[in-house]
Amino acid sequence: MYIGLSKLPSRDAVEQAFARHVPGARLWWGSLTDAEFDGDFALTIDPNASEFSSMLNVWVLSGQDGYALGLRIARELSVALDCSTICDGSLHGTDRSPYWSIVWQRGIPFLADDCDTLFADGAGDISPEERQKLGPVRLVSPLTIKF
């Protein structure tokens, strides 16, 4: 599960969001390879070279539905931090493309296309020329998501 944010979230804000949606969940800040790992969720916050400058990466180890939880946490953080967030939207797109995302703006969801974007494709070993061809995430349409 991933959530991109246009602001750097504090650990406290993330922990509060998880506490509201998964009460009692044990959060582990760090890698799954850490010898001391003990938790229901492993989390890291990493930089992203896009309009979503922070990436909350979450490994779900508790049997929770990561897709549904990602929607809830992304919505919550967009409101709590007054920022835009992005999460997996592959089950909300018009086809089974992996490029569908949900962008939350102050708690309002939009279907978005992240193909050929800095957010989805700008990481890793790409040339400066390839990076310049990438743009921002494109909003497609407003959505109604019921929880």
Give the model confidence (pLDDT) of 45-99 as tens digits.
999 999 999 999 999 888 889 999 999 999 999 999 999 999 999 999 888 888 9
Contacting residues for 77 by C-beta, under 8 A, at least 6 apart: 3, 5, 9, 13, 14, 17, 56, 83, 85, 104
pLDDT, tens digit, for every residue of 9-30? 999 999 999 999 999 999 999 8
Going from the C-alpha of 111 to that of each of 3, 36, 49, 56, 108, the distances in angstroms are: 15, 38, 21, 20, 10
Beta-bridge partner residues of 105: 84, 108
